[in-house]
Amino acid sequence: FFPGFTLVELMVVIAIIGLLTAAGTMIVTQVRSRARDAKRTANIDQLMKALDLYNNQTGAYPVAAAPLCIVGNDSVSTALKNANLIADDFKDPIFTDSNQCYRYTSDASGTTFALRYFLESAAVGTPGYHTVP
């Protein structure tokens, strides 16, 4: 005769393990989301610095007739690469649609521009804007 666990005790242990697993998965997901948001913020900061350097070299920002996604083969990325201001493609870590990519717009003369990006940890997209007086 071996003393054992009752069915109720086993079910309680399994339920506790399930709750701990669910909590751990949720925490890992949040950490990954925050890491991607940090990558987005760093990318936008680097793009803004490269755009300012481009303006210093050429006297204007790249002109985009309509909002465009910065994905590496667009006109803004090409202009920055040709000026040797960036070497890497700045793409969003997971967002690929045109509503949540890094969106660039400028006025017709290239005196101002705006960059917009979205964070996963925020319910609403956080825009990043830069204008030149």
Output the DSSP codes for the chain.
------HHHHHHHHHHHHHHHHHHHHHHHHHHHHHHHHHHHHHHHHHHHHHHHHHHHHSSPPP-SS-EE-SSSSHHHHHHHHTTS--S----SS--STTTS-EEEE-TTSS-EEEE---SSSSS--EEEE---
pLDDT at 2: 60
| Higher per-residue confidence, 130 vs 22 | 22
Could you report the per-residue pLDDT of 31-90, keeping only the tens digit for each?
Answer: 888 888 888 888 888 999 999 999 999 999 999 988 898 888 899 999 999 999 998 888
pTM: 0.74
Could you report the per-residue pLDDT of 83-127, keeping only the tens digit for each?
Answer: 999 988 888 888 777 777 888 989 999 998 888 888 887 644 455
pLDDT at 7: 86
